[in-house]
Every structure is written in structure tokens, then in C-alpha cells.
């Protein structure tokens, strides 16, 4: 009987340790998910900022006449995309 009680107590202790470890891991997981979300958000905003800076560089190059044909075609494509998007927005307003 004594031996059975000791085994039950050891099992209870191990179970409590597992529960504590599980709770600790859940907290850590939650914290890591939050950090990951922040990093994704930061990465996204940095990507937008990079894109804007690249556009500014292209605009500056074109205004100085230092743009090659490939960059000029890229700039023209981007402008055409903007014009199409503006036209689509205007069409939506007219509906």
C-alpha cells in the first residue's frame, strides 16, 4: 500500500511539472507569435519604404536625364499602371 501511494505522489508531481512546463511553453509561444507578427509588420513597412525610395531615385534620375533605356521603360510601365488604376477608380466613382 505504501509503495502505491508513493508511486501516485510521484506521478502527481510529474504531472504538475508537466502542467507547469506546458503553461510556460504556451506563454513563450504566445510571446514568440507576437514578436513574429511585429517583425512581419516591420518588414512590410520597410518594403513599402524601399519601394518609395526606389521610385524617388528613378524620378531623380529621369529629371537629371541620367536614366538608361531599361529604367525608362520600367518607369513608363509604372506610370501606365498608375494611369490605369486612376481610370478604374474614376469609373467606380461614376457608377
pTM, two decimal places: 0.54
Q: With 90 as the cut, is the pLDDT of residue 2 above it?
A: no
Separation of CA 27 from chain center? 22
Q: What is the pLDDT at residue 32?
A: 96
Contacts with 53 (C-beta within 8 Å, 6 or more apart), sequence order: none
Q: What is the pLDDT at residue 25?
A: 96
List pLDDT tens digits, range 39-84: 999 999 999 999 889 888 877 877 777 777 787 788 788 889 989 9
Q: What are the extents of the domains in the chain?
A: 1-64, 67-95
Q: How far apart are alpha carbons 89 and 95 in whole angstroms?
A: 10
Amino acid at each position: 500500500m505504501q509503495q502505491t501511494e508513493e508511486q501516485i505522489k510521484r506521478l502527481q508531481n510529474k504531472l504538475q511539472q508537466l502542467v507547469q512546463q506546458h503553461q510556460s511553453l504556451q506563454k513563450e509561444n504566445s510571446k514568440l507569435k507576437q514578436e513574429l507578427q511585429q517583425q512581419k509588420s516591420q518588414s512590410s513597412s520597410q518594403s513599402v519604404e524601399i519601394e518609395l525610395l526606389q521610385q524617388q531615385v528613378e524620378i531623380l534620375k529621369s529629371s537629371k536625364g541620367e536614366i538608361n533605356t531599361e529604367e525608362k521603360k520600367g518607369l513608363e510601365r509604372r506610370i501606365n499602371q498608375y494611369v490605369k488604376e486612376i481610370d478604374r477608380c474614376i469609373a467606380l466613382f461614376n457608377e
